[in-house]
Structure 1
Amino acid sequence: MRFLLSRRFRIGLIVFSFIVFLASSLINAQTPPADYGAKGALKAPRITYEEALQYAIEDEYLAQERYKLVIQKYGQVFPFPKIQTAEKKHIEALERLYNQTDIEIPTNKAKDYVGMPSSIKVALQQAVQAEIDNIAMYNRFLEIKNLPPNAKKVFTNLRDASKKHLVAFNFGLSQQQ
Protein backbone atom coordinates (compact mmCIF):
# COMPACT_ATOMS: atom_id res chain seq x y z
CA MET A 1 0.00 0.00 0.00
CA ARG A 2 2.81 2.33 0.89
CA PHE A 3 4.34 1.72 -2.55
CA LEU A 4 1.00 2.59 -4.25
CA LEU A 5 0.69 5.87 -2.38
CA SER A 6 4.23 6.69 -3.25
CA ARG A 7 3.60 5.83 -6.87
CA ARG A 8 0.38 7.88 -6.93
CA PHE A 9 2.21 10.76 -5.34
CA ARG A 10 4.93 10.59 -7.99
CA ILE A 11 2.37 10.48 -10.81
CA GLY A 12 0.51 13.39 -9.24
CA LEU A 13 3.73 15.34 -8.96
CA ILE A 14 4.53 14.68 -12.62
CA VAL A 15 1.03 15.77 -13.70
CA PHE A 16 1.23 18.87 -11.50
CA SER A 17 4.64 19.77 -12.92
CA PHE A 18 3.34 19.36 -16.45
CA ILE A 19 0.36 21.62 -15.74
CA VAL A 20 2.64 24.27 -14.23
CA PHE A 21 4.91 24.03 -17.28
CA LEU A 22 1.97 24.47 -19.68
CA ALA A 23 0.56 27.38 -17.69
CA SER A 24 3.93 29.14 -17.60
CA SER A 25 4.33 28.59 -21.33
CA LEU A 26 0.96 30.23 -21.99
CA ILE A 27 1.78 33.15 -19.71
CA ASN A 28 5.17 33.63 -21.35
CA ALA A 29 3.63 33.30 -24.81
CA GLN A 30 1.45 36.31 -24.15
CA THR A 31 4.23 38.64 -23.03
CA PRO A 32 6.38 40.08 -25.82
CA PRO A 33 9.56 41.85 -24.72
CA ALA A 34 9.03 45.53 -23.88
CA ASP A 35 11.09 46.52 -26.93
CA TYR A 36 9.08 44.44 -29.44
CA GLY A 37 6.59 45.64 -32.04
CA ALA A 38 4.42 48.72 -31.59
CA LYS A 39 4.78 48.73 -27.80
CA GLY A 40 8.56 48.91 -28.18
CA ALA A 41 8.35 51.60 -30.84
CA LEU A 42 6.09 53.74 -28.70
CA LYS A 43 8.46 53.48 -25.71
CA ALA A 44 11.73 54.08 -27.57
CA PRO A 45 13.22 57.55 -26.96
CA ARG A 46 14.45 57.86 -30.58
CA ILE A 47 13.91 55.68 -33.62
CA THR A 48 16.08 55.24 -36.67
CA TYR A 49 14.71 54.06 -40.00
CA GLU A 50 16.29 50.64 -39.46
CA GLU A 51 14.69 50.32 -36.03
CA ALA A 52 11.34 51.43 -37.47
CA LEU A 53 11.51 48.63 -40.02
CA GLN A 54 12.16 46.10 -37.27
CA TYR A 55 9.38 47.36 -34.98
CA ALA A 56 6.97 47.46 -37.92
CA ILE A 57 7.58 43.92 -39.13
CA GLU A 58 7.48 42.58 -35.56
CA ASP A 59 4.11 44.24 -35.02
CA GLU A 60 2.74 42.91 -38.30
CA TYR A 61 4.01 39.42 -37.39
CA LEU A 62 2.19 39.70 -34.04
CA ALA A 63 -1.06 40.78 -35.69
CA GLN A 64 -0.96 38.03 -38.28
CA GLU A 65 -0.29 35.35 -35.64
CA ARG A 66 -2.91 36.76 -33.25
CA TYR A 67 -5.60 36.72 -35.95
CA LYS A 68 -4.53 33.27 -37.17
CA LEU A 69 -5.04 31.83 -33.68
CA VAL A 70 -8.46 33.47 -33.38
CA ILE A 71 -9.54 31.93 -36.69
CA GLN A 72 -8.25 28.50 -35.63
CA LYS A 73 -10.21 28.60 -32.38
CA TYR A 74 -13.38 30.52 -33.30
CA GLY A 75 -13.66 30.04 -37.06
CA GLN A 76 -14.26 32.61 -39.77
CA VAL A 77 -15.53 35.36 -37.43
CA PHE A 78 -15.77 38.85 -38.97
CA PRO A 79 -13.37 40.61 -39.58
CA PHE A 80 -10.46 38.32 -38.68
CA PRO A 81 -10.04 36.33 -41.94
CA LYS A 82 -9.94 39.38 -44.18
CA ILE A 83 -7.59 41.29 -41.89
CA GLN A 84 -5.29 38.29 -41.45
CA THR A 85 -4.89 38.27 -45.24
CA ALA A 86 -4.15 42.00 -45.14
CA GLU A 87 -1.47 41.47 -42.49
CA LYS A 88 0.31 39.09 -44.86
CA LYS A 89 0.35 41.87 -47.48
CA HIS A 90 1.66 44.33 -44.86
CA ILE A 91 4.53 41.95 -44.09
CA GLU A 92 5.29 41.61 -47.81
CA ALA A 93 5.39 45.41 -48.19
CA LEU A 94 7.86 45.66 -45.31
CA GLU A 95 9.93 42.81 -46.74
CA ARG A 96 10.24 44.81 -49.98
CA LEU A 97 11.63 47.73 -47.95
CA TYR A 98 14.07 45.35 -46.26
CA ASN A 99 15.17 44.03 -49.64
CA GLN A 100 16.06 47.58 -50.68
CA THR A 101 18.48 47.85 -47.74
CA ASP A 102 21.37 45.75 -46.50
CA ILE A 103 19.38 44.75 -43.41
CA GLU A 104 18.36 41.14 -42.88
CA ILE A 105 14.64 40.47 -42.38
CA PRO A 106 14.08 39.49 -38.72
CA THR A 107 12.90 36.00 -37.90
CA ASN A 108 9.20 35.79 -37.13
CA LYS A 109 9.02 35.06 -33.39
CA ALA A 110 5.36 36.02 -32.96
CA LYS A 111 4.31 32.45 -32.05
CA ASP A 112 6.40 32.82 -28.89
CA TYR A 113 4.48 35.92 -27.82
CA VAL A 114 0.85 35.36 -28.79
CA GLY A 115 -1.61 33.39 -26.68
CA MET A 116 -5.13 32.19 -27.29
CA PRO A 117 -7.76 34.72 -26.20
CA SER A 118 -10.39 33.41 -23.78
CA SER A 119 -13.33 34.55 -25.93
CA ILE A 120 -14.11 36.20 -29.25
CA LYS A 121 -14.98 39.39 -27.35
CA VAL A 122 -11.53 39.41 -25.72
CA ALA A 123 -9.97 38.73 -29.13
CA LEU A 124 -11.78 41.75 -30.59
CA GLN A 125 -10.77 43.95 -27.64
CA GLN A 126 -7.15 42.90 -28.07
CA ALA A 127 -7.36 43.57 -31.81
CA VAL A 128 -8.77 47.06 -31.22
CA GLN A 129 -5.90 47.92 -28.88
CA ALA A 130 -3.34 46.39 -31.24
CA GLU A 131 -4.61 48.50 -34.14
CA ILE A 132 -4.60 51.67 -31.98
CA ASP A 133 -0.97 50.97 -31.06
CA ASN A 134 -0.14 50.14 -34.68
CA ILE A 135 -1.56 53.46 -35.92
CA ALA A 136 0.36 55.39 -33.25
CA MET A 137 3.54 53.51 -34.19
CA TYR A 138 3.26 54.41 -37.89
CA ASN A 139 2.44 58.02 -37.03
CA ARG A 140 5.67 58.11 -35.03
CA PHE A 141 7.64 56.59 -37.91
CA LEU A 142 6.36 59.24 -40.29
CA GLU A 143 8.11 61.86 -38.12
CA ILE A 144 11.57 60.30 -38.71
CA LYS A 145 13.87 62.83 -40.36
CA ASN A 146 15.19 61.86 -43.80
CA LEU A 147 12.74 58.99 -44.10
CA PRO A 148 13.14 57.48 -47.59
CA PRO A 149 10.14 58.37 -49.81
CA ASN A 150 9.31 54.71 -50.48
CA ALA A 151 9.27 54.01 -46.72
CA LYS A 152 7.09 57.06 -46.12
CA LYS A 153 4.60 55.73 -48.66
CA VAL A 154 4.59 52.21 -47.16
CA PHE A 155 4.27 53.47 -43.57
CA THR A 156 1.43 55.79 -44.61
CA ASN A 157 -0.38 52.98 -46.43
CA LEU A 158 0.02 50.61 -43.49
CA ARG A 159 -1.19 53.22 -41.02
CA ASP A 160 -4.23 53.96 -43.19
CA ALA A 161 -4.99 50.24 -43.51
CA SER A 162 -4.82 49.93 -39.72
CA LYS A 163 -7.35 52.74 -39.40
CA LYS A 164 -9.74 50.65 -41.53
CA HIS A 165 -8.96 47.56 -39.46
CA LEU A 166 -9.75 49.52 -36.31
CA VAL A 167 -13.18 50.46 -37.69
CA ALA A 168 -13.88 46.81 -38.58
CA PHE A 169 -12.78 45.49 -35.18
CA ASN A 170 -14.81 48.15 -33.36
CA PHE A 171 -17.83 47.16 -35.42
CA GLY A 172 -17.24 43.48 -34.61
CA LEU A 173 -16.92 44.35 -30.95
CA SER A 174 -20.18 46.34 -31.01
CA GLN A 175 -21.91 43.20 -32.34
CA GLN A 176 -20.70 41.20 -29.32
CA GLN A 177 -22.29 43.43 -26.70
Structure 2
Amino acid sequence: MKTSVSKYISCMIASILFLTVSYTVSAQTNTLQNLGAKGALQDSSITLEKALTYALQDEYAAQARCDAVIQKFGAVKPFVRIKKAEQSHIETLLPLFKAYKVPVPKNQAANLTEAPVSLKAAFRVGIEKETDHISMYTKLLETPGIPADVQRAMTTIRHASLNHLAAFQAGLSRSE
Protein backbone atom coordinates (compact mmCIF):
# COMPACT_ATOMS: atom_id res chain seq x y z
CA MET A 1 0.00 0.00 0.00
CA LYS A 2 2.81 2.37 0.96
CA THR A 3 4.53 1.73 -2.39
CA SER A 4 1.31 2.41 -4.33
CA VAL A 5 0.78 5.74 -2.58
CA SER A 6 4.41 6.66 -3.12
CA LYS A 7 4.18 5.81 -6.84
CA TYR A 8 0.91 7.75 -7.11
CA ILE A 9 2.46 10.84 -5.48
CA SER A 10 5.54 10.57 -7.72
CA CYS A 11 3.34 10.36 -10.82
CA MET A 12 1.28 13.36 -9.69
CA ILE A 13 4.41 15.43 -9.07
CA ALA A 14 5.83 14.46 -12.46
CA SER A 15 2.54 15.37 -14.15
CA ILE A 16 2.41 18.75 -12.43
CA LEU A 17 6.02 19.49 -13.42
CA PHE A 18 5.34 18.45 -17.01
CA LEU A 19 2.24 20.66 -17.23
CA THR A 20 4.09 23.60 -15.66
CA VAL A 21 6.99 23.33 -18.11
CA SER A 22 4.63 22.85 -21.07
CA TYR A 23 2.58 25.90 -20.07
CA THR A 24 5.71 28.03 -19.60
CA VAL A 25 7.12 27.08 -23.01
CA SER A 26 3.72 27.63 -24.63
CA ALA A 27 3.31 31.01 -22.93
CA GLN A 28 6.79 32.12 -24.05
CA THR A 29 6.11 31.04 -27.63
CA ASN A 30 2.76 32.80 -27.52
CA THR A 31 4.38 35.95 -26.18
CA LEU A 32 7.09 35.91 -28.86
CA GLN A 33 4.49 35.44 -31.59
CA ASN A 34 2.43 38.36 -30.32
CA LEU A 35 5.22 40.93 -30.09
CA GLY A 36 6.40 43.40 -32.71
CA ALA A 37 6.12 42.58 -36.39
CA LYS A 38 4.96 38.99 -35.82
CA GLY A 39 2.07 40.18 -33.68
CA ALA A 40 1.14 43.05 -36.00
CA LEU A 41 1.18 40.89 -39.11
CA GLN A 42 -1.21 38.42 -37.45
CA ASP A 43 -3.53 41.04 -35.94
CA SER A 44 -6.70 41.78 -37.88
CA SER A 45 -7.88 44.65 -35.68
CA ILE A 46 -5.07 47.20 -35.36
CA THR A 47 -5.74 50.30 -33.30
CA LEU A 48 -3.47 53.31 -32.74
CA GLU A 49 -2.43 51.88 -29.37
CA LYS A 50 -1.60 48.49 -30.90
CA ALA A 51 0.20 50.10 -33.86
CA LEU A 52 2.48 52.12 -31.59
CA THR A 53 3.04 49.15 -29.29
CA TYR A 54 3.92 46.73 -32.09
CA ALA A 55 6.25 49.31 -33.65
CA LEU A 56 8.13 49.97 -30.41
CA GLN A 57 8.37 46.28 -29.55
CA ASP A 58 9.88 45.60 -32.96
CA GLU A 59 12.40 48.43 -32.56
CA TYR A 60 13.36 47.03 -29.14
CA ALA A 61 13.78 43.57 -30.73
CA ALA A 62 15.92 44.91 -33.59
CA GLN A 63 18.18 46.72 -31.17
CA ALA A 64 18.48 43.60 -28.96
CA ARG A 65 19.42 41.47 -32.00
CA CYS A 66 22.18 43.95 -32.89
CA ASP A 67 23.38 43.93 -29.26
CA ALA A 68 23.51 40.12 -29.25
CA VAL A 69 25.52 40.04 -32.49
CA ILE A 70 27.93 42.74 -31.28
CA GLN A 71 28.46 40.95 -27.96
CA LYS A 72 29.21 37.66 -29.70
CA PHE A 73 31.15 38.79 -32.78
CA GLY A 74 32.44 42.27 -31.91
CA ALA A 75 31.78 45.64 -33.53
CA VAL A 76 30.72 44.22 -36.89
CA LYS A 77 29.34 46.46 -39.60
CA PRO A 78 26.47 47.13 -40.20
CA PHE A 79 25.22 45.96 -36.77
CA VAL A 80 26.86 48.83 -34.86
CA ARG A 81 25.36 51.45 -37.17
CA ILE A 82 21.94 49.78 -37.22
CA LYS A 83 21.90 49.51 -33.42
CA LYS A 84 22.27 53.32 -33.26
CA ALA A 85 19.53 53.73 -35.85
CA GLU A 86 17.19 51.51 -33.81
CA GLN A 87 17.77 53.75 -30.79
CA SER A 88 16.86 56.73 -32.97
CA HIS A 89 13.66 54.95 -34.06
CA ILE A 90 12.79 54.26 -30.41
CA GLU A 91 13.33 57.94 -29.60
CA THR A 92 11.08 58.88 -32.55
CA LEU A 93 8.26 56.65 -31.30
CA LEU A 94 8.34 57.42 -27.56
CA PRO A 95 6.92 60.98 -27.78
CA LEU A 96 3.96 59.59 -29.74
CA PHE A 97 3.07 57.34 -26.80
CA LYS A 98 2.95 60.41 -24.58
CA ALA A 99 1.04 62.50 -27.12
CA TYR A 100 -1.67 59.87 -27.52
CA LYS A 101 -1.64 58.67 -23.88
CA VAL A 102 -0.63 55.15 -24.80
CA PRO A 103 1.21 53.12 -22.14
CA VAL A 104 4.82 52.41 -23.14
CA PRO A 105 5.42 48.64 -23.30
CA LYS A 106 8.19 47.18 -21.21
CA ASN A 107 11.33 46.35 -23.17
CA GLN A 108 11.53 42.54 -22.91
CA ALA A 109 13.62 42.08 -26.05
CA ALA A 110 16.99 41.38 -24.43
CA ASN A 111 15.45 38.49 -22.45
CA LEU A 112 13.93 36.99 -25.61
CA THR A 113 16.92 37.36 -27.94
CA GLU A 114 19.81 35.01 -28.59
CA ALA A 115 22.85 35.58 -30.76
CA PRO A 116 22.87 33.57 -33.98
CA VAL A 117 25.43 30.76 -34.27
CA SER A 118 27.44 32.54 -36.97
CA LEU A 119 27.84 35.94 -38.54
CA LYS A 120 26.35 34.55 -41.75
CA ALA A 121 23.29 33.44 -39.78
CA ALA A 122 23.11 36.91 -38.20
CA PHE A 123 22.88 38.48 -41.65
CA ARG A 124 20.17 36.00 -42.66
CA VAL A 125 18.17 36.75 -39.51
CA GLY A 126 18.66 40.47 -40.16
CA ILE A 127 17.23 40.08 -43.67
CA GLU A 128 14.25 38.09 -42.40
CA LYS A 129 13.49 40.48 -39.56
CA GLU A 130 13.88 43.64 -41.67
CA THR A 131 11.55 42.14 -44.26
CA ASP A 132 8.97 41.52 -41.50
CA HIS A 133 9.66 45.01 -40.12
CA ILE A 134 8.95 46.64 -43.50
CA SER A 135 5.79 44.55 -43.94
CA MET A 136 4.64 45.53 -40.46
CA TYR A 137 5.09 49.25 -41.09
CA THR A 138 3.34 48.94 -44.45
CA LYS A 139 0.38 47.31 -42.70
CA LEU A 140 0.37 49.81 -39.82
CA LEU A 141 0.38 52.72 -42.26
CA GLU A 142 -2.80 51.34 -43.84
CA THR A 143 -4.63 51.41 -40.50
CA PRO A 144 -7.61 53.76 -40.67
CA GLY A 145 -7.41 56.77 -38.39
CA ILE A 146 -3.64 56.78 -37.86
CA PRO A 147 -2.71 60.43 -37.15
CA ALA A 148 -0.45 62.29 -39.59
CA ASP A 149 2.48 62.57 -37.13
CA VAL A 150 2.39 58.81 -36.50
CA GLN A 151 2.25 58.18 -40.26
CA ARG A 152 5.30 60.42 -40.79
CA ALA A 153 7.29 58.66 -38.08
CA MET A 154 6.38 55.20 -39.37
CA THR A 155 7.10 56.16 -42.98
CA THR A 156 10.54 57.44 -41.97
CA ILE A 157 11.32 54.29 -39.98
CA ARG A 158 10.09 52.03 -42.79
CA HIS A 159 12.38 53.86 -45.22
CA ALA A 160 15.33 53.35 -42.85
CA SER A 161 14.44 49.65 -42.68
CA LEU A 162 14.84 49.42 -46.45
CA ASN A 163 18.40 50.68 -45.96
CA HIS A 164 18.98 48.18 -43.14
CA LEU A 165 17.71 45.38 -45.37
CA ALA A 166 20.15 46.38 -48.12
CA ALA A 167 23.00 46.49 -45.57
CA PHE A 168 22.20 43.00 -44.30
CA GLN A 169 21.95 41.67 -47.86
CA ALA A 170 25.34 43.18 -48.69
CA GLY A 171 26.80 41.69 -45.52
CA LEU A 172 25.48 38.27 -46.40
CA SER A 173 26.94 38.55 -49.91
CA ARG A 174 30.35 39.41 -48.45
CA SER A 175 30.20 36.49 -46.00
CA GLU A 176 29.51 33.86 -48.68
* TM superposition score category, shorter chain reference: 0.7 to 0.9
Q: Which residue of 1 aligns with 2:70?
A: 71
Q: Runs of 4+ in structure 1 displaced over 6 angstroms?
A: 28-31
After superposition, the Cα gap between the structure-2 partners of 1:30 and 1:111, relative to the gap in structure 1 and judged at 3 Å, is farther
Determine if contact 1:30/1:115 at 8 Å carries over to the other structure.
no
Q: Is the 8 A contact 1:38 1:56 kept in 2?
A: yes
Where does residue 148 of structure 1 map in the other structure? 147
**Are 1:30 and 1:113, in contact at CA under 8 Å, matched by a contact in 2?**
no
SS in 1 for 2:32: coil
Which residue of structure 1 aligns with residue 156 of structure 2? 157
Q: Deviations over 1:22-55 (max 9, x none)?
A: xxxxxx9898521111011001112111101000
1:126/1:95 Cα in 2 relative to 1: closer, same or farther (>3 Å)? same
User: Structure 2 unaligned runs (5+)?
Assistant: 1-26
Matched, 1:128 2:130: no
The residue number in structure 1 matching 2:98 is 99
TM-score, structure 1 as length reference:
0.81
Shift of residue 124 of structure 1? Answer: 0.7
Counterparts in 2 of 1:1-177, with a 5 A limit?
33-177=32-176
TM-score, normalised on structure 2? 0.82
- The whole-number CA distance in structure 1 between the counterparts of 2:70 and 2:33 is 26
Structure with the higher helix share, 1 or 2:
2
Q: How many residues align?
A: 152
Distance 1:159 1:67 in 2: 18
For 1:107, what is the secondary structure of its paired residue?
coil
The verdict on how the C-alpha distance between 1:62 and 1:171 changes in structure 2, with shifts beyond 3 A counting, is same
Q: Which amino acid aligns with 1:102?
A: K
Structure 1 gaps, min length 5: 1-27
- Identity, % of aligned positions: 41
Structure 1 SS opposite 2:100: coil
